[in-house]
Structure 1
Amino acid sequence: MLRFAHIDYLWGLLLIPVFILLFIVVSRWKSKAVKSLGDRSVVNLMIPDVSFSRPWLKFILFTVAYAFLLIGAADPQIGSKMEEEKRKGADLMILLDVSNSMLSQDLVPNRLENAKRAIAQLIDNLHTDRIGIIVFAGEAYVQLPMTTDYSAAKLFLNTINTNMVPTQGTAIGSAIDLGMKSFDFKDGTGKAMIIITDGENHEDDAVAAAKNATDKDVTVHVIGVGSPEGAPIPIYQNGKQVGFHTDSAGKTVVSKLNEDMGKEIAAAGNGAYVRATNANSGLGIVMDQIGKIQRKTIDSKNFKDFEDRFQFFIGFAFLLLVIEFFISNRKSQRLSNLKLFEVKKT
């Protein structure tokens, strides 16, 4: 397994296209300056020792060396040994509403982004529990299967948006049923769901689904995002807000938090209901409740004994820089005197 100890350094690779662009601009400027002196063949006779190809070679060597230096600084590591760990934990499934109403801005910056930030903080505080993510609107999909790889969980979380589910609606019951299918009930670990939704346009029988979940000892918690007063649903085009959703009469649609529905589902699922605010996501209260569920020993395989490989990249970059340093911008007299293809007159 390959990983980088300091992956942020790799952002420096984005400067390479800038270097290339600047070098091309400067090269064209020099070429125009030479042409302005007169006929190219005459100019070449005036400056016979100047090489027009070596600067390109030096630039290529420098750029490749720069890339290898950054990769070396990021410290690539290879996992040389896989070990099986035993840890006590529980299974936690996040059910996240991604319907258009989650773009309403009564939470900062909007309901969905506020919820994603809270989930990211939750993942940072996990140590032994497995986590999975299901996204839903009019339909439900597994975004992240149950895992202990918290880095992967955050990567998948960052990709979530309202365009992931084409069918609009709030199919909470379907999301709960899908979550139940995603659990492995053979391992005997404690299990819980956290539904994060505004409850807008609630469609199926989520209360019945929550009751069915409790039959298998799965608790269902609900975090309501939004406000009872509501907020309009923005419309975006090419990343810019261009207006708000309207109904058939042309009036702006206001999306309001359906707290009654959230409380009913939480009660049916033997869980807690919390309304999120800008100051409190509500996940802390829910996690206190989840902390009480039974945790059993689970097995997980992880790479151990990662070995650094930065030496090869740093060494190769240094070699390229040494070669680049000793390449002159002038033509080599020795090579110029070797007129291998000159035809001698007899």
Structure 2
Amino acid sequence: MLRFAHIEFLWGLAAVPLLAALFYAVSSWKKKAVARLGDRKVVDLIIPEVSFSRPWIKFILFAVAYAMLVVGIADPRMGSKLEEVKQKSADLMILLDVSNSMLAKDIAPSRLENAKRSIAQLIDNLHNDRIGIIVFAGEAYVQLPVTTDYSAAKLFLNTITTDMVPTQGTAIGAAIDLGMRSFDFKNGTGKAMIVITDGENHEDDAVAAAKSAADKDVMINVIGIGSLEGAPVPVYENGKETGFHTDSLGKPVVSKLNEEMGKEVAIAGKGAYVRATNANSGMGIVMDQIARVQRKTVDSRNYKDYEDRFQFFLGLAFLLLIVEFFISNRKSLRLSNVRLFEVKSPTPAAGTGPTQNRINTGKSR
């Protein structure tokens, strides 16, 4: 079966009849111009090197080469064999803190934006693993169910803001419980979670939720994002920063990373804890930990492997262009004088011509 990887390039073949029509018009104009000079035999004596057939030969070679080039660029492929592809995967759920404290800028450009960038890099490095996203603050919501559609995952990731969850807080336990309910435990694949949070305003018993998940062979990893010194939490109105959140005394609220809580959750979940910095998101260390999760074959399909054939068409186009280049538009006068099949009349021998006959006849008299 023949198929093209870039079939849209075949529209370039539409230029072939247009070029042929244009060349025919120009060739006809040249013939008429030469005909106006006089009789064809006289003109051939005046301009013997002019050829009307060679330009056509050159054009045909060029047109065929162009067509082969277009087909080659479209990348024709031929089916050749069947391969069995087995995909081994694990289920990964990202739990992202979207509380207002994630707007603090001790991690540039902000804690939330830095976390979203590291998740995007994680998605780019995934292959067969399935991924889901849960956002949480005082409550938890499924932003993206577990899927292998990485494009959709990045699209949903870009829409995440702190306005998505109206209730403020950091309900890590609720997010873990929601993640457990979102997993499909019947498929038998390994499962893990990555909690990205600053740990501020802890609402529930996250350690107990992590331990319960670990008892069901779900690894809980935590990336603490923020600094121990903390930073004020900005306030935004219409996309512009207008100030900072303040306490009852009117002083700016400083949000600090609750690192102890993150470590306790990771230990209870039998996972790893990493603190993110401006230089290192910590995602690499966590993924090394998740690599230990058991992966199971969840899909086995037969795919037809297509072999590229573009090289044959490009090679033929290149060869035709070389031949076209070495064909001149004008006749070769040297070759024109070579007549391999012309029969020449014999030259009379000395003393056998009519004059000699007359002389002999005279003597006989």
TM-score by length of 2: 0.59
CA distance in 2, matches of 1:200, 1:304: 52
CA distance in 2, matches of 1:89, 1:192: 12
> Superposition pairs for residues 116-265 of structure 1, below 5 Å?
116-265=116-265
Report deviation, 1:299: 2.8
- Secondary structure, aligned partner of 2:160: coil
Report deviation, 1:239: 0.7
CA distance in 2, matches of 1:137, 1:289: 26
Report deviation, 1:215: 1.1
- Secondary structure, aligned partner of 1:242: strand
The corresponding residue for 2:19 is none
CA distance in 2, matches of 1:122, 1:170: 23
Report deviation, 1:300: 8.6
Rg larger for: 2
- TM-align CA RMSD: 2.3
CA distance in 1, matches of 2:226, 2:215: 30
CA 1:262/1:304 → structure 2, altered by over 3 Å: closer, same or farther?
farther
CA 1:295/1:234 → structure 2, altered by over 3 Å: closer, same or farther?
same
CA distance in 2, matches of 1:249, 1:260: 28
Residues 264-316 of structure 1, C-alpha deviation per residue, up to 9 Å, x if partnerless?
Answer: 00000000000000110000000001001100011399x999xxxxxxxxxxx
The corresponding residue for 2:327 is none
- Secondary structure, aligned partner of 2:186: coil
Residues 234-273 of structure 1, C-alpha deviation per residue, up to 9 Å, x if partnerless?
Answer: 0001111000000011111000000000000000000000
- Secondary structure, aligned partner of 2:265: helix
CA distance in 1, matches of 2:222, 2:265: 7
Residues 170-191 of structure 1, C-alpha deviation per residue, up to 9 Å, x if partnerless?
Answer: 0000000000000001111010
CA distance in 2, matches of 1:120, 1:223: 15
Residues 72-112 of structure 1, C-alpha deviation per residue, up to 9 Å, x if partnerless?
Answer: xxx9xxxxxxxx97410100000000000000000110000
CA distance in 2, matches of 1:194, 1:156: 17
CA distance in 1, matches of 2:300, 2:215: 27
Residues 154-207 of structure 1, C-alpha deviation per residue, up to 9 Å, x if partnerless?
Answer: 000000000000000000000000000000011110100000000000110000
Counterpart code for 1:103: L
Query: Where in structure 1 do 4 or more consecutive aligned residues deviate above 4 Å?
Result: none
Report deviation, 1:134: 0.2
CA distance in 2, matches of 1:304, 1:202: 53
Residues 111-164 of structure 1, C-alpha deviation per residue, up to 9 Å, x if partnerless?
Answer: 000000000000000001000000000000000000001000000000000000
CA distance in 2, matches of 1:276, 1:86: 35
- Secondary structure, aligned partner of 1:186: helix
CA distance in 2, matches of 1:126, 1:259: 28
The corresponding residue for 1:109 is 109
Q: Is 1:284 paired with 2:288?
A: no
Number of residue pairs matched?
Answer: 226
- Secondary structure, aligned partner of 1:145: strand
Q: Is 1:91 paired with 2:99?
A: no
CA distance in 1, matches of 2:139, 2:243: 26
The corresponding residue for 1:56 is none
- Secondary structure, aligned partner of 1:192: strand
The corresponding residue for 2:296 is 296
